[in-house]
Amino acid sequence: MKNLIAPLIAYIVVFSLQVTPAAAREAQASVTKQAAAPGYEIPDSLNPEERKWFKTFQEGNILAQGWQSISAEILARTSPEQRLARKAALDNLGRRIGMEWCRPNAVRKVDSSMLRAWGDILRTTARKNPQQLARAIALIEQKLDAALY
């Protein structure tokens, strides 16, 4: 099954998202590396239930796209010169958001509607104005900080 993930993502990137084949190949290369092992680590400090939800946040489920998929989609639209910095920023942001979202509903300060809104901001920025992606990430970090503190 994992052997089918990278080609499927490349197909989706090329035909659904209308990016160049070169960008799709680069995205596929980064996804292929992730297919062997997840592109994230589950923090040891999480309890078993939180670990399950953190993994769901990162990988998604039938109802929602996961952070790893959103990140791959965004990175496919990012210039090669900026891709490493954007990946680091997205990985950091995804870890922070996931750590809060995986907490029990009664105490968490990030909810699923926030996730949808933030994912939409990132995808729209990457599609329409990719040079503003750093700004979009910073905006979401500010919103996250405001929710947490």
Tens of pLDDT along 30-69? 544 444 356 899 999 999 999 999 999 999 999 899 999 9
Over pLDDT 90: what percentage of the chain?
Answer: 72
Residue 26 confidence (pLDDT): 54
**Predicted TM-score of the model (pTM):** 0.74
Distance CA 87, CA 101 (A): 20
pLDDT of 18 above 90: no
Residue 14 confidence (pLDDT): 46
Classify each residue of 129-147 as buried b or exposed e, where b means 16 or more C-beta atoms within 10 Å of its C-beta: ebeebeebbeebbeebeee
Residue 23 confidence (pLDDT): 53
